[in-house]
Amino acid sequence: MVEMTYLDAIRDALRAALRDHPEVVLYGEDIGRFGGAFKVTLGFQEEFGADRCFDTPISESALFGSAIGMATQGLRPVVELQFADFGTNALHHLLNNAGTHHYRTGVPVPMTVRAPCGGGFGGGPFHSEELEAIFCHMPGIKVVYPAFPSDARNLLYAAILDPNPVVFLENKYLYRHVKELVPRAIEPVRIGAARIVRPGQEAVVLTYGAMVHEAMRAATRLAGQGYEVMVMDLRSLKPYDEDAIVAAAAATNRVLIVHEGWRTCGFGAELAALVAERAFHLLDAPVMRVTAPDVPVPYAPELESAYRPNAEKIEKALVELIEY
């Protein structure tokens, strides 16, 4: 076992993919000699050569488009967005081309987009966005969003080997805030499986990304008050683990959904809709959501902490839900 941060884990998965699979190439803005804005790819250009890890002009459309071109010609490109926010410059490539290519032509598009997202560090409105709901709306795209180093490593490796376009969401706040002991070898995982990261029967929190840790904190506090709350880390958002969610609803009869992104048409709405449709008869209380409000991510720490869901807000909602 080795101890790794979330960021180490991402780096480790990339390095393993580069080592194991000659068809893997990495590119993006400043990821070459500089190692990327977050230093995830530091040293790769030296280790693997400039044709497998290289810098690009500031051209998100060219990044996505060329990755589609490569992925359909035998490579497995992994492109890094400097921030997920800049992906909005070129969503037409993901929605219309990457996501439809196999359906239209029968030719798969094994590309991975790494999208650092989330706030909590003073990034302001254009460096903190959570865009999973937009990616998840696109047919033909898979979306994963790990919360732990082990999952980050396994899921990124799986994403790279997946025959489909995968958006790999990585939470910037977690980069250096979570550590975990992980086995030396990367484990093959199935994209699409949720995980119960804390058992409990009073209620379940369905969540992912940085909010898994906030939910865990809330659950720990509530345990002190005698409430045992289940926390489910979805890990994969598209496909998401419908059966595990329904089973959790059945086991707890109370569902709280938590995410860091905006409320209206957020991914939590999809989860609530699933529960309302498939677990309706299992519920003892309304499905509740703790999310960011429909507000641009504010910069000032006072505003951002009011904006961002956290353990306190989750705890409050859980109490309300349990006592409904």
Partner 1 sequence: MPRRDSGRLDEMDVLFPQTSVTDVPPPEWARLYRTMVLSRKIEERLIRLYHQAKIFGGVYTGVGQEAIGAAATSASQQEDLFAPLIRNMTIHIGRGETTLNIFRQWLARASGPTRGRDGNVHYGNLKNGVYTMISHLGAMLPVIVGGVMAKRRRGFDTIGFGTIGDGGTSTGDFHEAVNFAAVYDVPVIFLIENNHFAYSTPREFQYKCARLADKAVGYGIEGYGVDGNDAVEMLLFFRKLAADLRARPRAVLVECDTLRMRGHGEHDDSSYVPKELLARYAARDPIKVARERLTNEGMLAAAQLDAIEAACAAEVDAAYREALREPPPDPATLAQGVYADG
Which of 2, 58, 62, 295 contacts ligand TPP by CB under 6 A? 58
Non-local CB neighbours of 19 within 8 Å, separated by 6+ positions: none
Between residues 86 and 223, which has the closer beta carbon with respect to partner 1? 86
Task: Give the range of 82-90, 170-178, 237-245, 266-274 binding ligand TPP by CB under 6 A.
Answer: 82-90
Nearest to 164 by CA among 239, 90, 265: 239
CB count within 10 Å of CB 298 equals 17
For residue 239, is the peptide bond before it cis, meaning its omega torsion is within 30 degrees of 0? yes
* Residue 106 sits in the site that holds a copy of itself (CB under 8 A): no
CB of 66 to ligand TPP, least distance (A): 15
Which of 118, 307, 311, 322 contacts partner 1 by CB under 8 A? 307
CB of 7 to partner 1, least distance (A): 15
Partner from a copy of itself, partner 1, ligand TPP, none binding residue 136, C-beta < 5-8 Å depending on class: a copy of itself
Which of 33, 52, 278, 313 contacts a copy of itself by CB under 8 A? 278
Would residue 82 be called left, alpha or beta, if left means φ above 0 and alpha means ψ between -120 and 50 degrees?
Answer: alpha
**Site for partner 1, residues 109 to 128, rule: CB under 8 A:** 109-110, 121-127
Rounded to whole angstroms, the Cα distance separating 64 from 78 reads: 10
* Dihedrals phi, psi of 227, to nearest 5 degrees: -100, 125
Partner from a copy of itself, partner 1, ligand TPP, none binding residue 72, C-beta < 5-8 Å depending on class: partner 1
* Residue 299 sits in the site that holds ligand TPP (CB under 6 A): no
* Residue 54 sits in the site that holds ligand TPP (CB under 6 A): no
Non-local CB neighbours of 191 within 8 Å, separated by 6+ positions: 142, 144, 155, 158, 159, 162, 166, 236, 239
Per-residue x/- track, 270-289, partner 1 (CB under 8 A): --------------------
Length, in residues, of the chain: 324
Which of 8, 80, 162, 315 contacts partner 1 by CB under 8 A? 162
* Residue 201 sits in the site that holds partner 1 (CB under 8 A): no
* Residue 86 sits in the site that holds ligand TPP (CB under 6 A): yes
Rounded to whole angstroms, the Cα distance separating 244 from 194 reads: 7
Indicate if the alpha-carbon torsion angle 261, 94, 240, 196 is positive or negative: negative
For 156-171, the three-class secondary structure string (H helix, E strand, C coil) is: HHHHHHCCCCEEEEEE
Tokens of 68: 């589609």
* Residue 66 sits in the site that holds a copy of itself (CB under 8 A): no
Per-residue x/- track, 22-41, ligand TPP (CB under 6 A): -------x------------
DSSP string for residues in 55-113: E--S-HHHHHHHHHHHHTTT-EEEEE-SSGGGGGGSHHIIIIIIHHHHHHHS-----EE
Tokens of 203: 């209620």
Task: Give the range of 81-89, 93-101, 186-194, 205-213 binding ligand TPP by CB under 6 A.
Answer: 81-89
Partner from partner 1, a copy of itself, ligand TPP, none binding residue 287, C-beta < 5-8 Å depending on class: a copy of itself
- DSSP, collapsed to helix, strand or coil, labels residue 262 as strand
Tell me, yes or no, if 281 is annotated catalytic.
no
Between residues 85 and 180, which has the closer beta carbon with respect to a copy of itself? 85
- Residues with active-site annotation: 127
| List of residues contacting a copy of itself (CB under 8 A) | 85-86, 88-92, 95-96, 99-100, 103-104, 125-126, 129, 133-134, 136-140, 238, 262, 264-270, 272-273, 275-278, 280-281, 283, 285-289, 294-296
